[in-house]
Amino acid sequence: MKKRAKQREANGKAEGKGQLYDQLSLNEIKELALVKPGSEEEIELKRREAYIERPAQKLLRNLLESGKKAEILPTYDPSSSFRYETVESVFDENVSPAKAEEFLERLCHLEILRKSFFDTVSACPVCGSTCITLHYSCPGCTSRHIIKTGLTEHIPCGNIEERDKYIQGHRMPTCPKCGTRLVEGEYRDMGLWYVCKECGEKFEHPHLDVTCRKCDNKFKVETGIIREISKYALNPDREQEIRQNVTSLESIHKLLTELDFSVEMPASATGEKSGIQHKFSLIAKKKFGGRENIVAVDHAVGDVDVSVSPLILYIYKISEVRVDLPIFVAIPKLGETARRIAQGYNILVIEGIPKEKERLAMLNDEIQKRLSERTMISEGEIVHQWIFRKGKKVDVWRNGRGKFVKGEHYRSQMSLQKLPLTQSLSNPQLHAEPEPKKTRLMQRIKKAIKRKSNHKEKQ
């Protein structure tokens, strides 16, 4: 794709400044829109698609608002092991902890997030779950019915018993074996030991075994696997890019909302030919009379400028979906080749993030102007477009079937621009398409024969 873009750039420079646009065929658009699996273009494409996903936008916005040291930390839930609750909350529907972790790993693969070490835990060697329980057992009879207690030795008689037994039934500590009261210097604590309640065995080191509460697998501590638990944060190398992608459309969203559009951001639409679910940064809809007008917005961020690739993908999407006003936002600006292509498709290009009042006002006027140029008539619609022929900008009109029609048959260009979008033309004669040339020729021949016959009768 980059080679094709460079080739078009070179051709454009060779042809000189006279060429104002570049228009591609549908086959070229499809070829450029499809990238090879695993290529840099595919990763860039998937990263752009991730930026316009609603969960990703919510998560990234939360991290940006929380400051540079913001991190996504896991919490432990006994029923489901470690989970990332802050990530689960950004989804509109309930998602499993596994899906939330998979979402984080995908953002890391796309270099939007960066993960680092948080902790290591033991996990089941069969299913990998960390929902496990540790059990002590007697090394003699393997019973789990054991207690942990302190042992005391009575030195004169050599009795070793649990501490509690030296005070049971006595006011003063007394040896349960010889009945002698304990005197300082004649007993000693032997530390903590384990006592089996089944066989009475006393031992210092019990056997350990583990049970997985998810798959009921029983295994030794030595055979368990070690699982690393990660924490996540924004990739500092892409922080500016992330900030631009997350905040770039807020002003446009607000502007379209003020124009009474219903705005969905991000949004998707199904291709009429392919059936593919196309993702857009923003789709806005508003009804004028009985017809719904659609504004579709995509955006892309580049280091110096935005290349041809994201624009080609956008053109392919709007060729599949009915769009009344296509808008492409390029941050910081659109490349020269991409700009010529956008002009060829009459796409409204916005460079940078429009924040200033004057710029937003100009954008407001431009959006309303372009939408007002679509005029409804009784049985179809006449659409005013600008196209380029031999490097010159030409005003043309298309009917509801996409065919070119002559402007004088539907009033002048100026009078059409003055009509509001909801107003239809009332003169039914203006709706009829011009008669074919063959029909008009036959009518002239018939009139000529009739005049000749009348002339002979008079003679």
pLDDT of residue 289: 63
Q: Who's near 42: CB < 8 A, 6+ residues apart?
A: 35, 36
Handedness of CA 386, 389, 393, 395 (dihedral sign): negative
| Distance (Å, whole) CA 192 – CA 202 | 10
Reported as type and span, the H/E element at residue 451 is: helix 437-458
User: What is the full per-residue pLDDT of the chain (459 aa) written as tens digits?
Assistant: 444 544 554 554 444 444 445 555 555 555 555 555 556 777 887 888 888 888 998 999 899 988 888 999 999 988 778 999 999 999 988 999 999 999 999 999 999 999 999 999 999 999 988 899 999 999 999 999 998 888 888 888 888 887 778 777 667 788 888 878 888 888 888 778 898 999 988 888 899 999 999 899 999 989 999 999 999 999 999 988 888 888 878 888 889 999 899 999 888 899 888 888 898 999 999 987 677 889 999 988 888 888 888 899 899 999 889 898 999 999 888 999 888 888 888 899 998 887 778 888 888 888 888 877 654 433 345 555 555 555 565 666 665 555 566 655 444 443 443 333 333 333 333 334 444 544 555 666 666 666 666 665 555
pTM of the model: 0.60
Taking the alpha carbons at both ends of the chain, their separation in whole angstroms is 79
Residue 154 near residue 180 (C-beta atoms within 8 A): yes
Measure Cα distances from 170 to 149, 164, 165, 166, 426 in Å.
Answer: 20, 11, 10, 8, 113
pLDDT of residue 292: 86
pLDDT of residue 23: 55
pLDDT of residue 357: 81
Give buried/exposed letters for 183-197 (b at 16+ CB in 10 A, else e). eeeebeeeeebbbbe
Strand runs labelled E in 305-370? 325-331, 348-351
Nearest to 47 by CA among 116, 108, 114, 115: 108
pLDDT of residue 371: 79
Strands across the sheet containing 282-288: 262-264, 282-288, 291-301, 325-331, 348-351
Domains of the chain: 1-30+248-371 (3.40.1350.10), 35-125+227-241 (1.10.10), 139-205 (no CATH), 373-445 (no CATH)
Helix axes 239-247, 54-65, angle to 10 degrees: 120
| Distance (Å, whole) CA 118 – CA 278 | 37
Nearest to 297 by CA among 273, 257, 263: 263
pLDDT of residue 402: 52
